[in-house]
């Protein structure tokens, strides 16, 4: 077997070969232990601030054991991590930074195959972006979701229930003491959010793309099967090196189409639109926004999980997990796409749902036509995204007057003023929070004004160039592109303007004459300028939301240039 690591350890230069072998020996890696074996880089992303990925501190040892059992040699390395709870105002820019970290670490070091340890929202897509750019045999292993908590005798899930109880608190239905009790019990173990938020969505997509072993994406963090999955992942990556089963053979255009269909069926996070587009872009594959709507248009919601449904990820796991979902979806998928086992998906998912109240079938879905709605119009020439399964907008058309906020903090201050002229038909607009303007934070699910909450209103139309948490819900129109910071039409909206949303026609329209919109935009001034550092680099080079928000210089110029082949090692 011709191993890439041999370029380092069997180098024609005696000096270079000596240097590399000596460096390995200094860390306790005797050459007779690893020469001639596939060297597997295990990329760990835990930190003491990332509770989602913390289980990998232990799981990595089971991956190593699996690698050794199958004749490989494991090397653990560490990358930056992206704890979304702490990275303010937005963790999205650091997805790209982590992708660069992963890519360059793979490129510059003697790995034959790679295991990527992921979980939190941005770690999974960041790792897939980096791996796609390198195209070495790669597998992901998730840490698993955390356990649900109990509050007032009811199950509560970190994420979706957090937003619901925050609305109760603002409405005066939850006391300070009760809020403190909720904080102590809602997040009671390590692991990702236990709902179908961004973390669970991206793990499911990774498995659908063939980048996780079948049946491993939805195992709870505290379950013994998570350790077994880690060991099996370690075993399998060694065989993938021998088979040269690389990301470009797994993440094909057909596989991305399958992933989009899966997103609709599980009520997946809107963030996945950005991430899938960015991952595909690294392989030279373009996914237009319209493709998301076309492929999900006739896919019903067959997973009854928060935020689109009632249950949590533990229930999902006990119902059969992603395997049961994919089994139900097989008639609508390209079943020739490969799994991480190198076998077609039609042969890998025979199990049906064990709990039809949690995972149903195409014949008995929980909601019809519940996929993503792509909206375009004079307010969003390049598109905007609405998650229909999490929206309560029953009528196909909504028309309301705009209430515009230019600043997030000011919006929070003004939203609960008694003199705010707002009713249930108003359209809340937040701008200056797109990818270039603010790193595209999860500010899109604008809070409902207190006086509306107190009258029982829990949803209304909201529009922004931001994202929202995958655990959030509501009639929230996101990712308006181009963003206001770069002069998109969202910058032209003024208080009192009429805005119309038409779901049947797929339009988002500002009822202002075109000439007046142009005149307003001529007077528009960008709100923020990042002075230095990585955020300046990000703002200067980030692509717009409909293009996935990757950095422009990380995309291949053509599809033929997509696969990055690491160079032969020279003298160091």
Q: Which residue has the higher pLDDT, 168 or 41?
A: 41
First to last CA, the chain: 26
Does any domain span residue 24?
A: no
Measure the CA–CA gap between 102 and 50, rounded to whole angstroms.
Answer: 18
Alpha helical stretches, state H, 283-403? 289-296, 313-318, 321-329
pLDDT (tens digit, 9 = 90+) per residue, 113-125? 999 999 999 999 9
Structure tokens at 530: 């990042």
Residue 482 preceded by cis peptide, ω within 30: yes
Per-residue confidence at 392, pLDDT binned at 50, 70, 90?
A: confident
Q: Are 143 and 161 in the same domain?
A: no
Cβ partners under 8 Å of residue 75, min gap 6: 29, 39, 40, 41, 42, 111
Q: Select from 314, 347, 380 the last residue of a domain.
A: 347
The whole-number pLDDT of residue 395 equals 64
Pick from 63, 158, 86, 82: nearest CA to 125: 82
pLDDT (tens digit, 9 = 90+) per residue, 490-518? 999 999 999 999 998 999 999 999 999 99
Measure the CA–CA gap between 165 and 158, rounded to whole angstroms.
Answer: 11
**What CATH number is attached to the domain comprising 228?**
3.40.50.2300
Residue 244 preceded by cis peptide, ω within 30: no
**Beta-strand (E) ranges in 13-170?**
39-44, 73-78, 113-118, 138-142, 149-151, 154-156
The whole-number pLDDT of residue 530 equals 75
Q: How many CB atoms lie within 10 A of CB 432?
A: 23
Residue 566: pLDDT over 60: no
Q: Are 156 and 217 in the same domain?
A: no
The whole-number pLDDT of residue 148 equals 94
Coil, helix or strand at residue 61: helix
Q: Are 267 and 322 in the same domain?
A: yes
Q: 162-191 in b/e burial notation, b at 16+ Cβ within 10 A?
A: bbbbebebbbeebeeeeeeebeeebbebbb
Measure the CA–CA gap between 49 and 398, rounded to whole angstroms.
Answer: 42
The whole-number pLDDT of residue 562 equals 65
The whole-number pLDDT of residue 327 equals 97
Q: Select from 167, 185, 203 the last residue of a domain.
A: 185
Q: Are 342 and 196 in the same domain?
A: yes
What sign does the CA torsion over 471, 145, 79, 129 have? negative
Measure the CA–CA gap between 82 and 105, rounded to whole angstroms.
Answer: 17
The whole-number pLDDT of residue 389 equals 84
Does any domain span residue 1?
A: no
Cβ partners under 8 Å of residue 565, min gap 6: 135
Q: Are 131 and 164 in the same domain?
A: no
Q: Are 329 and 218 in the same domain?
A: yes
Strands 372-377, 154-156: pairing kind: unpaired
Instruction: Name the DSSP class of 485.
Output: G
Q: Are 224 and 322 in the same domain?
A: yes
**Beta-strand (E) ranges in 324-453?**
372-377, 380-387, 397-405, 427-430
Per-residue confidence at 563, pLDDT binned at 50, 70, 90?
A: low
Greatest distance between any 2 Cα atoms in the chain:
79
Residue 95 preceded by cis peptide, ω within 30: no
Residue 359 β-bridge partners: 303
Q: How many domains does the chain have?
A: 3
Q: Select from 347, 364, 399 the last residue of a domain.
A: 347
Measure the CA–CA gap between 477 and 503, rounded to whole angstroms.
Answer: 11
Does any domain span residue 16?
A: no
Q: Are 377 and 274 in the same domain?
A: no
Instruction: Name the DSSP class of 338.
Output: B
Residue 403 β-bridge partners: 428
Structure tokens at 332: 């609508």
Q: Are 227 and 317 in the same domain?
A: yes
Residue 453: pLDDT over 70: yes
Q: Are 416 and 453 in the same domain?
A: yes
Asked whether 463 and 429 are in contact (CB, 8 A), the reply is: yes
Asked whether 326 and 355 are in contact (CB, 8 A), the reply is: no
Instruction: Name the DSSP class of 136.
Output: -
**What CATH number is attached to the domain comprising 417?**
3.50.30.80
Three-state DSSP string of 239-290: HHHHHCCCHHHHCCHHHHHHHHHHHHHHCCCCHHHHHHHHHHHHCCCCCCHH
Domain boundaries, position 154? 150-185
pLDDT (tens digit, 9 = 90+) per residue, 203-257? 999 999 999 999 999 999 999 999 999 999 999 999 999 999 999 999 999 999 9
Q: Are 162 and 291 in the same domain?
A: no
Q: Which residue has the tokens 């696969």?
A: 563
Q: Which residue has the tokens 């699910």?
A: 445
Q: Are 169 and 201 in the same domain?
A: no
Q: What is the mean pLDDT of the chain?
A: 94
Structure tokens at 24: 């390995």
Pick from 440, 571, 499, 538: nearest CA to 90: 440
pLDDT (tens digit, 9 = 90+) per residue, 155-209? 999 988 988 899 899 889 999 999 999 999 999 899 999 999 999 999 999 999 9
Asked whether 167 and 453 are in contact (CB, 8 A), the reply is: yes
Asked whether 55 and 226 are in contact (CB, 8 A), the reply is: yes
Instruction: Name the DSSP class of 107.
Output: H
pLDDT (tens digit, 9 = 90+) per residue, 259-297? 999 999 999 999 999 999 999 999 999 999 999 999 998
- Identify the weakest region by mean pLDDT among 256-265, 431-440, 530-539, 547-556: 530-539
Q: Which residue has the tokens 């997946």?
A: 268
Per-residue confidence at 569, pLDDT binned at 50, 70, 90?
A: low
pLDDT (tens digit, 9 = 90+) per residue, 2-16? 999 999 999 999 999
Residue 464: pLDDT over 80: yes
Does any domain span residue 7?
A: no
The whole-number pLDDT of residue 360 equals 97
């Amino acid at each position: 077997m011709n191993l890439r690591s041999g370029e380092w350890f069997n180098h024609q230069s005696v000096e270079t070969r000596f240097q590399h072998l000596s460096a390995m020996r200094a860390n306790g890696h005797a050459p007779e232990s690893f020469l001639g074996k596939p060297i597997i880089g295990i990329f760990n992303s835990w930190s003491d601030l990332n509770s989602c990925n913390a289980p990998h501190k232990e799981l990595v040892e089971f991956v190593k054991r699996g690698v050794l059992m199958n004749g490989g040699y494991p090397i653990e390395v560490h990358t930056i991590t992206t704890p979304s709870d702490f990275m303010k105002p937005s963790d999205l820019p650091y997805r790209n930074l982590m992708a660069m970290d992963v890519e360059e670490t793979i490129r510059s070091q003697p790995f034959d195959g790679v295991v990527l340890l992921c979980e939190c929202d941005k770690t999974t897509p960041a790792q897939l972006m980096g791996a796609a750019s390198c195209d070495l045999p790669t597998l992901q292993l998730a840490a698993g979701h955390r356990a649900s908590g109990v509050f007032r005798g009811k199950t509560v899930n970190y994420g979706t229930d957090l937003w619901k109880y925050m609305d109760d608190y603002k409405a005066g239905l939850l006391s300070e003491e009760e809020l403190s009790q909720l904080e102590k019990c809602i997040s009671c173990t390590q692991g990702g959010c236990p709902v179908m938020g961004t973390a669970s969505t991206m793990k499911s997509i990774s498995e659908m793309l063939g980048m996780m072993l079948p049946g491993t994406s939805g195992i709870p963090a505290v379950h013994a099967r998570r350790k077994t999955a880690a060991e099996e992942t370690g075993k399998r990556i060694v065989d993938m090196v021998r088979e040269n089963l690389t990301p470009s053979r797994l993440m094909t255009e057909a596989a991305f189409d399958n992933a989009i269909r899966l997103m609709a069926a599980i009520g997946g996070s809107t963030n996945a639109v950005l991430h899938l587009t960015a991952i595909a872009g690294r392989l030279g594959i373009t996914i237009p926004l319209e493709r998301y709507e076309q492929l999900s248009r006739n896919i019903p919601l067959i997973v009854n999980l928060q935020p689109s449904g009632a249950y949590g990820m533990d229930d999902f796991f006990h119902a059969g997990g992603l395997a049961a979902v994919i089994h139900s979806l097989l008639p609508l998928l390209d079943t020739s796409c490969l799994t991480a086992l190198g076998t077609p998906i039609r042969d890998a998912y025979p199990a049906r749902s064990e709990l039809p109240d949690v995972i149903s079938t195409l014949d008995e879905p929980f909601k019809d036509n519940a996929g993503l709605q792509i909206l375009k119009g004079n307010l969003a020439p390049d598109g905007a995204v609405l998650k229909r399964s999490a929206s309560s907008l029953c009528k196909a058309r909504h028309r309301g007057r705009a209430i515009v906020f230019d600043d997030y903090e000011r919006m929070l201050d003004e939203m609960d003023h008694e003199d705010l002229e707002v009713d249930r038909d108003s359209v809340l607009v937040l701008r200056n929070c797109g990818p270039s303007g603010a790193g595209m934070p999860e500010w899109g699910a604008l809070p409902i004004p207190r006086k509306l909450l107190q009258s029982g209103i829990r949803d209304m139309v909201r529009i922004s160039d931001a994202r929202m948490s995958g655990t959030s819900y509501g009639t929230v129109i996101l990712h308006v592109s181009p963003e206001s910071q770069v002069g998109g039409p969202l910058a032209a909206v003024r208080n009192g303007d009429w805005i119309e949303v038409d779901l049947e026609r797929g339009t988002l329209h500002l009822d202002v004459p075109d000439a007046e919109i142009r005149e307003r935009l001529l007077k528009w001034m960008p709100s923020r300028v990042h002075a230095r550092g990585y955020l300046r680099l990000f703002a200067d080079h980030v692509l717009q939301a409909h293009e996935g928000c990757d950095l422009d210089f990380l995309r291949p110029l053509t599809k033929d240039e997509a696969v990055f082949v690491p160079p032969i090692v020279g003298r160091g």
